[in-house]
Structure formats: C-alpha cells, structure tokens
Amino acid sequence: MSNLRTPGPTPVPPTVLAAMAQPMINHRGPEFAALIGGVTAKLKHFFQTENDLLILTGSGTGGLEAAVVNLLSPGDQVLAVSIGVFGDRFAEIARVFGAQVTKLDFPWGQPADPAAIQAQLAAHPQIKAVLVTHNETSTGVTNDLESISQAVRGFDKLLVVDAISSVGSLDLPADRWGCDMVIGGSQKGWMVPPGLVFVTVSPKAWQAATQARMPRFYWDLASAKRTLERGQTPATPAVSILYGLVESLRLMMEEGLPGIVERHRQVAERCRQGAKALGLELFARPGYESNTVTAVKVPSGVDAKALLKALREKHDIVLAGGQASLSGKIFRIGHLGYVYEEDIDEVLAALREELPAATK
Amino acid sequence: MSNLRTPGPTPVPPTVLAAMAQPMINHRGPEFAALIGGVTAKLKHFFQTENDLLILTGSGTGGLEAAVVNLLSPGDQVLAVSIGVFGDRFAEIARVFGAQVTKLDFPWGQPADPAAIQAQLAAHPQIKAVLVTHNETSTGVTNDLESISQAVRGFDKLLVVDAISSVGSLDLPADRWGCDMVIGGSQKGWMVPPGLVFVTVSPKAWQAATQARMPRFYWDLASAKRTLERGQTPATPAVSILYGLVESLRLMMEEGLPGIVERHRQVAERCRQGAKALGLELFARPGYESNTVTAVKVPSGVDAKALLKALREKHDIVLAGGQASLSGKIFRIGHLGYVYEEDIDEVLAALREELPAATK
C-alpha cells in the first residue's frame, strides 16, 4: 500500500475497507434507518454540536454549495473570507448563485485577521453571512476560528464554516463557537473514501433557510431533514461509504476526540520539525500551521515535479503539489485521519534521500 | 446475503465488492487519470454514444439536476413528459430552477404517447428541451423511447433522457435515437453501489450549455469536461465506487451488451409469467412492462406492508413498495444488474408461500 500523504483522499484503515465490501441494502428499509441514525448521532458528537446534522452524497464542494443555496437569496450580501484556493471556491459558489460577495482576502500562507473581519461587518451592515475556511488545505494554514467566531458574534450574522479538512481531526466545538453551519467531508479525518459530505444546521440557519430563495433541489437541506426523520435520504445515498463510516466512527469513538486531536498535533509537529531539520521552510505563518496538512516551500533550485515523481515512483509515497498560483512553489504533506508518526518518518527519510537529486 | 430485489441499490457481485476495498489513491495523480479514462470509454460503449460522457459524484437525482442547470436559463420553456414519480421529479427540478414547465402527464402504469408529445411540440414552438424518463422505476413501465425520439426529431429540440434504471440493462442506442443527454446511475444495472452518476452530452447540448444561465457550480459539466481532459474531476470523486466500476465494467464487457439486454429480458419475462401464474396482476400496460422492474398490483384484501415484511423477515427477500399515490397499491420486484432466473424463482416461491397469510 502506498503511503498516501495527500490532504484527501486519505488512507483508509483495513477494517473500514472491509466494512465497505458488505452487500447492498434497501435504502428505504429498517436496516438503513438504524444505520443512518447511528452514524448521524456519532458525527454530531465529533462536530460537538446539538444542531441538526445531515449526510449528503457528494464531494465536499457539494456541501459548500448546499450551505450557500440553503441560506441565501440572490442579491444577499455575504462576506467571504479567503486565505487560499478553498476560500476562493466558497466565494465563487456564492457569486455564481447570485450573492453579492464582499471578498476579504489574506495573503496565501497567512491566516485571516479577526479584526479585519470585524471591520468589514461594521462597514457593511447588510451582510447576512460570513463564509470562512477553518483549515485551508491549499496553504496549510489553520484559521483562529475561535477568535473569528468572537469577532462575528456581536453582529448577528450567520457563521458558515468550511471545516472539510479540520472537523474530526482538529478541535472544533461548533456550538460553543456559534457556528451556524459546519461542513465536513468523508475522505478527510473520517478515514473513509470520498463520497459523503456532512452539514450541520443551527436553528438560526434553519430560520434563514425558510427565507432563502436560491434554487435548490438535490442539495435541499429541509428535504434531507424531513426524510432523515423517517430514517431515509431524499435520493439514493452512497451506502457503501456509509458502511465504512460505521466502522471508522467506531474506531474514532474508541480513540476519543481529545486523543485524536492530540495525535494530529503530535504527528504534525513531528512533520514540521523534521522538515525544518532537512533545511526546508514551512509556508504557513508560524503559530497558524495546520495540524492536518503541512505546506513546505520548494527550495530554490529544486524541481518540485521531479521530487514528487521520485517520491512516488521510488518510495511509493504520494504527496500533493501546490495548487493554482502555488503550483511548483510548495508541496504538501497530508497528515489527517489514519496517520501515525512512522508514516511521517517515512516521508522525511525519503525527502532526505531525494532532495539532492531533485536539485538542479 | 439478502436477495435484494429493489430497483436500486441492486446487489453487487463479490468481485466488485472486493475491488472496492482497494486503498485510496491521489485523485490528482497518474493512476487516477488512467482509471477514469478507461471507465469513461467503457461507459460510452454501453451508452452507445460518441458524445462526451461525464462521471459525477452524487445520486441519480444529481444527474437530473445537472442536465437541467447546464442546458437551460430561467424562463426557458421545457416539455416534461411524466409517467410516474421520477418523471414528476425531473419536472420539479426544472421548475425549481426557474424553467417554464409544460407538463405532459400520462396515467401511472401507462407509457407516454409519442403523438401527444408531437402535438405539444407543435403547439408550443418556444419549447427548448424535452425531458423524458426512459424507464419509470415507480410504475415498472418502459417508454417507447425510439418512437418518442422520432416524434421529437422534427422539431430541433434537446432530448434529455433519464435513463437511470435503463441504460446498461435495456437497449438504449443514445446516438442513434438522437439523445442529447442521457443520465445513468451507478447503483442500477452497473452493479456497483450508489454514489456516481453518468451524463452524456451531445454537441448540441454543449452548444445550449454555453447559452444556459441557470446557476451551477458543483454540477457544472463544462468544468467536468475541462478537468477530465487532464484525467481529473473538479472535486474529489467517489474513488472506491470507481474501483468497483472498473471491475463491474470488466464483467459487463465479458458478457457483452446484447447478452446483458437479453438476460434482462428473460429474467423479466420469467418474473411476469411467474407473477401471473400466482394469480397476480401486473401494473404496467401490456407491451410496456419494464425489463428492469416489475410492478405488481396488490390483490384486494392483501396487506402489502405485512407481505413485504414477511418476505424480508422470513425469506430475506427485499422488495420495494409503491411510491407516492401507489403506496399500498403495488409492490415492485427489481431485476436489473446482477440478477439471474434463480433470484426471481426464489421471490416467486416466497410470494406463493406468504400471499395467503398476508390476505386479510
């Protein structure tokens, strides 16, 4: 098995892979109702929320689209806080569906400044929702979501959090931090393959949804809630991914959220220290480095493509390159979900070996 | 293993289940590019099309939404031909996204009348697209799509076909019948779990897409086409379902499309004859009975819920009830994908045993 160290899809534990190979069941039957009820309750535990949580079949991006179209009407003002590719994507979805987007960009590698968010909200009282990325996969930066949530709190806005690469791996007390919607994706810390997305909905978000006039059918959360009350989903769900989730949530309950968060911190710290020991520089501003993905600057003279190719072909280690304007400038080591220090040690040892050869 | 005889999810062959348990790979890497390229080419073979075919992560309903939002602008007129629940759903999606929907309904159990479609198109020259269900899962009726396509042909309209429970199981020569979009779903005849949807796009449909102004991001087919050219998908795809599809398409290529279509015909015929031999009446108009799902009228005095429960609990056979206004009035035996005559014989034997007990 490759040492797959992209920030998603992430490796899947053997018992989860085995669980996915169970035969299909009727998604309108009693077995399925028990399955989805149990999985939903456990997910809520890890999202640290009493709000509704809905499981949709799709990629993480679909969850971002669901958030936008369920909360907003065309013409509504939103503040989209972006620190990278996925923040830009969230803003773009809102724009495409007709929101008036005020974009607050921070230089890539930097976190969002809560004071700047506060200033925007003070300057634009019409803003209805704040879209923010908890952990920006493209830059390896974790926003200080607690401070951001405090900055937003005074303004009675909807706080909508893309937590796709954080929730379940980093601490994200959704209710305590007043998050009205939190979006997670199965292929990240949950240790299952891609195909499911999770969206929490606060009472305030449900209230907004009743007013929201953006068109929605597949991503309609009210319809997902109505069918969940009968133990079903509006359309045929990705049953096999749900089987995997039953097993991965069992593993996660066993380890416990505090243990999981601490493991991610330790593994990430080892990755950062090890990279620095190789003379590499980290891309993220110190203090805001993500515990789920480490972005490393490509040293001058190093051909990033050749480096990743050598790691893949000679060591069976798969890292991610940089996205968009960061292509060729950084590479990324994913360490979320099913990951231990040995996995990172392997990556560091291989980097030590291949860096010289990839240097022009 | 249950004898799962719902019209989706359908049983998954053991080698396909095993294939799905393979470890994750990078969806932006060379292995994935080879995988999606191969799967796409084979799917096109079974869709009998030279048009583009795009694989999206989601339920079949997501594919219907993709068709609507990529082809139309708010205010565009469409003719939605409905013969049941899924025809109604297609129409509803178009309405929700702002199309002006002319609905052409036929009584449930009946097929659509091509002459009536022709009359509507003659009466409403502004109609841009015809939405039609090839095989209506809720009623067990297969439309005469060839005649419908001939009726539409004279009018230069877009022909958009929900083939979720037909393509890959019934003969559907998409190009020969001039279908501009054909939508299929993984959990049907393809013998893999739910989670992927397939959409073909003709040159005429691409032309319409450049004009279409309905908002779209997740379901944007142009973006799917652009990324497919690089061997990728816009968002993280359901990798494990794709693994399953590689294996199921291998099995399907081995059997060959004519063999698959003939097997479905034989199995369906056995189901229909067997049901009639038990004194049961079929719901579909004779000559239009579906070869993928048989809808059976609940005999007077029979409690459908008790019957399905007894089949499930005593025989481990899972049938589907009636949907919407057909609840309690019909039950449905799915026979698509991984199904052989023995599976149907088991259902018939169990029905013979349980029908008397379920009669009040």
Predicted confidence band of residue B360 (pLDDT cuts 50, 70, 90): confident
Mapped onto helix, strand or coil, the DSSP state of residue B160 is strand
**What is the tens place of the pLDDT at every residue in B105-164?**
999 999 999 999 999 999 999 999 999 999 999 999 999 999 999 999 989 999 999 999
Beta bridge partners of residue B257, listed in sequence order: none
pLDDT of residue B72: 98
- With an 8 Å Cβ cutoff, are A234 and B61 in contact? yes
Output the CA torsion B94→B95→B99→B100 (10° steps).
Answer: 130
Question: Contact, A20 vs A243, CB < 8 A?
Answer: yes
Q: Residue B267: is its pLDDT beyond 90?
A: yes
The ipTM estimated for the assembled molecules is: 0.97
CA distance B255 to B266: 15
Q: Does domain A3-7+256-354 have CATH number 3.40.50.2300?
A: no
pLDDT of residue A2: 87
CA distance A65 to A36: 22
Nearest CA in chain A to B13: A23
A70 Cβ contact list (under 8 Å, min separation 6) = A201, A205, A208, A209, A212, A214, A216, A219, A220, A221, A222
**What is the tens place of the pLDDT at every residue in A167-178?**
999 999 999 999
The partner residue sitting opposite B236, judged by closest CB among A187, A214, A240, is A187
Across B256-272, average pLDDT: 98
**What is the tens place of the pLDDT at every residue in A10-51?**
999 999 999 999 999 999 999 999 999 999 999 999 999 999
pLDDT of residue A46: 98
CA distance A176 to chain B (A): 30
Average pLDDT value over all residues in chain A: 97
Interface residue of B236, B327, B331 to substitute, partner A, most A CBs within 10 Å: B236
Predicted confidence band of residue A216 (pLDDT cuts 50, 70, 90): very high
Classify domain B14-253 by CATH number: 3.40.640.10
B-chain CB neighbours of A15 within 8 Å are: none
B-chain CB neighbours of A312 within 8 Å are: 29
Across A50-73, average pLDDT: 98
CA distance B341 to A115: 69
CA distance A107 to A95: 21
CA distance A318 to chain B (A): 7
The partner residue sitting opposite B238, judged by closest CB among A23, A195, A318, is A195
- With an 8 Å Cβ cutoff, are A57 and B60 in contact? no
Predicted confidence band of residue B23 (pLDDT cuts 50, 70, 90): very high
pLDDT of residue A360: 78
Classify domain B257-354 by CATH number: 3.90.1150.10
* Residue B41, both tokens: 């080419």
Quote the percentage of chain A above a pLDDT of 70.
100
CA distance B196 to chain A (A): 8
pLDDT of residue B2: 87
Question: 């319409």: which residue's tokens?
Answer: B208
Quote the percentage of chain B above a pLDDT of 70.
100
The partner residue sitting opposite A9, judged by closest CB among B1, B11, B239, is B239
The partner residue sitting opposite B21, judged by closest CB among A10, A21, A59, is A21
**What is the tens place of the pLDDT at every residue in A179-192?**
999 999 999 999 99
CA distance B286 to chain A (A): 28
Predicted confidence band of residue A65 (pLDDT cuts 50, 70, 90): very high
B263 Cβ contact list (under 8 Å, min separation 6) = B255, B339, B340
The partner residue sitting opposite B24, judged by closest CB among A10, A61, A234, is A10
pLDDT of residue A348: 98
Q: Residue A138: is its pLDDT beyond 80?
A: yes
Q: Residue A350: is its pLDDT beyond 90?
A: yes
Nearest CA in chain B to A192: B24
Q: Residue B1: is its pLDDT beyond 80?
A: no
- With an 8 Å Cβ cutoff, are B8 and A61 in contact? no
- With an 8 Å Cβ cutoff, are B193 and A24 in contact? yes
CA distance B168 to A189: 35
**CA nearest neighbour of B139 among B335, B330, B304:** B330
**What is the tens place of the pLDDT at every residue in A224-250?**
999 999 999 999 999 999 999 999 999
DSSP tag of A167 = B
CA distance B255 to B107: 36
Domain ranges of chain B: 14-253, 257-354
- With an 8 Å Cβ cutoff, are B59 and A236 in contact? yes
pLDDT of residue B359: 86
A-chain CB neighbours of B92 within 8 Å are: 217
A-chain CB neighbours of B214 within 8 Å are: 215
pLDDT of residue B84: 98
**What is the tens place of the pLDDT at every residue in B69-112?**
999 999 999 999 999 999 999 999 999 999 999 999 999 999 99
Across A347-354, average pLDDT: 98
Q: Residue A146: is its pLDDT beyond 80?
A: yes
Mapped onto helix, strand or coil, the DSSP state of residue A213 is coil
Question: Contact, A168 vs A198, CB < 8 A?
Answer: no
